Structure 1
Amino acid sequence: MGKKFVRSVLFFPTLINAMVFGIFAGFLFSPSGPVNKLLLLVGVQDPPKWLAQDNLFNMIMIVMIWSATGYFTTIIMSAVDQIPAYYYEAAGLDGAGPWAKFRHVTLPLAWDVISVCAVLWTMSSVKVFELILVFGGSTAKAPPTNTWSTALYVYQAAFGSGGDREFGISAASAIVSLPLVTVLTIGLRRMLRRDAVEI
């Protein structure tokens, strides 16, 4: 029962649109938001400017990780559930502790699923769009360029607020991003490749 509850709590952020996460995080970390009020209550007189331009990239990364963790954790936990219990029992009889069981049983047998999740998360991170737009700007104002993804660059080139409609650059950027993502995916797969474990 406890395992199902934890999975439900972890998976819940996946059901929420990224724009909602961006708006909610903006509310939490605004200068007069709950986080700063809580810091004032515990004695922090000068709370950090969470949404300042210098901190914006880090905040976007935190929200991205927060919103994606549940989805991939649920997939990995499903893979771990498929590992036969007698492997852990045999490891325990050999004197393995929790860390040794994780390192020598759980990690090798779930590695293929973990590597696929890493590739999927990397690909989804490259094409993230709405979260950056909501966090750093709006349809009338572009976010700082140090937070842009390739998807946002393509959008700004074609429909940005500067007035120029550079559809050629936008189309070229979209086409170039495809082989770049392909190379990144292949490189990540090669880096995470391991010998197959026979069960």
Structure 2
Amino acid sequence: MSATTGTAGTTAPAAPPIRRRRSGRRRSAVVGYLFVAPVALGLLALYLYPAISTFLLSFTHWGPFGGNTFSGLTNYAAVFSSDLFWRALLNTIAYMAIGLLVIPVAIVIAALLNKPGLRGVAVYRALYFIPFITLPVASGMVWKWLYNGEYGLINSFLEMVGIPGTYWVANPATALVAIGIVQVWSQVGYYLVIFIAGIKAIPTEYSEAAEIDGAGPFRRFFHITLPLLSPSIFFCTVINVIATLQIFDLIYVMTQSSGANPAHNATQSIVTLFYETAFVNNDKGTATALAFLLMLLIAALTAVQFRLQRRWVQYA
């Protein structure tokens, strides 16, 4: 009996040739690379190449009419020796901390809007989402008028209840917090939509079973909704940190557009300092060093968040 004949006398199917299998794998790999190529080229052209260029240009000195010469670590020495940089760094971290408040605010509002029997949920979602799609410049101008120390509506309301107002965006003690409040107000709609979708994806059987066991609404929220919403919370936290570290529009419109504002330095962020260094002081070498340091800060904080998320999942 031949090797290709089975016990019943039938011939076993021949194995596919090795060349045919290799060519099939090669063809599948080529097709896969073709599908990935547009995204890979986009990442290379829009992210990797600018990052490498910024890093290389941060070691150069730019002339007033273009052109650059190698200057070593001079730009980084100028950045780290500047008191304004450390002030801007602390302000940027403060903006990030205030911006993170949008996460619990959006979670609470999403939980309230997911209550069964609530009418007009679509209208509420639209009202919360409108500030997010509004241009930051427009939002900043409106809030700058509301914060006005002489005829702003906020001070007018405070005077009605006997509380003295202040120059909110001109007072160094209140300007940063005032901008942070506008930042939270303008971003809550975006995270609200994500959390509403995340809560709706949680099976209702869990809450119903907990309610039968006697768990109240607060206990169900903290022991069922929040733990199952953790993937959405992690995503929103990463996106929020990256966005707040790059805050520029609101700061520039509300405090930086007027050079005589006493709160100019008190609200300076790394991005506004980059703008001022590059386009006002025309020191593009130092500005590129600032940009690269900001990129490193964002990458480091994002890596820390992913590390903490993996540990949280591991011990959960």
Task: Give 1:120's aligned residue.
Answer: 239
Aligned to 2:179: 60
- Residue type at the aligned position of 2:266: N
Gaps of 5+ in 1: none
RMSD: 1.9
9-18 or 137-146, which moves further after superposition?
137-146
Q: Which moved more, 1:70-79 or 1:139-148?
A: 139-148
2:250 and 2:256 map into 1 onto residues whose CA distance is 10
CA–CA distance in structure 2, aligned partners of residues 47 and 150 of structure 1: 29
1:190 maps to which residue? 307
Contact 1:50 1:56 in 2 (8 A): yes
Tell me what 1:47 maps to.
Answer: 165
Post-superposition offset of 1:170? 0.6
Instruction: Give 3-state SS (helix, strand or coil) of 1:61's partner.
Output: helix
Question: How far has the Cα of 1:186 moved from its partner?
Answer: 1.5
TM-score (norm 1): 0.88
- Residue type at the aligned position of 1:86: E
AA in 1 matched with 2:209: A
Q: Distance in 1 between matches of 2:161 and 2:297?
A: 47
Q: Which whole-Å CA distance do the structure 2 matches of 1:183 and 1:43 have between them?
A: 47
1:67-78 matches, cutoff 5 A: 67-78=186-197
Partner SS, residue 53 of structure 1: coil
Give the counterpart of 1:34 among 137, 153, 171: 153
Quote the Cα distance in structure 1 between the aligned partners of 2:260 and 2:307: 40
1 or 2 for the larger relative contact order (CA 8 Å, sep ≥6)? 2
Give, in angstroms, the shift of residue 154 of structure 1: 1.3
State the partner residue of 2:277: 157
2:199 corresponds, among 59, 80, 84, to 80
Aligned AA for 2:134?
Answer: I
Aligned residue for 1:54, secondary structure, equals coil
Amino acid in structure 2 at the alignment position of 1:166 = D
Q: Which of structure 1's runs of 4+ aligned residues deviate more than 4 A?
A: 139-143
Aligned length: 192
Mapped partners of 1:53, 1:91: distance in 2: 49
Query: For residues 93-104 of structure 1, what are the structure 2 equivalents within 5 Å?
Result: 93-104=212-223
Distance 1:135 1:84 in 2: 44
1:93-116 Cα shifts (integer Å, max 9, x gaps): 121111111112111111011111
Residues 10 and 74, structure 1, Cα contact 8 Å, conserved in 2 = no
> TM-score normalized by structure 2?
0.57
Per the alignment, residue 181 of structure 1 pairs with 298
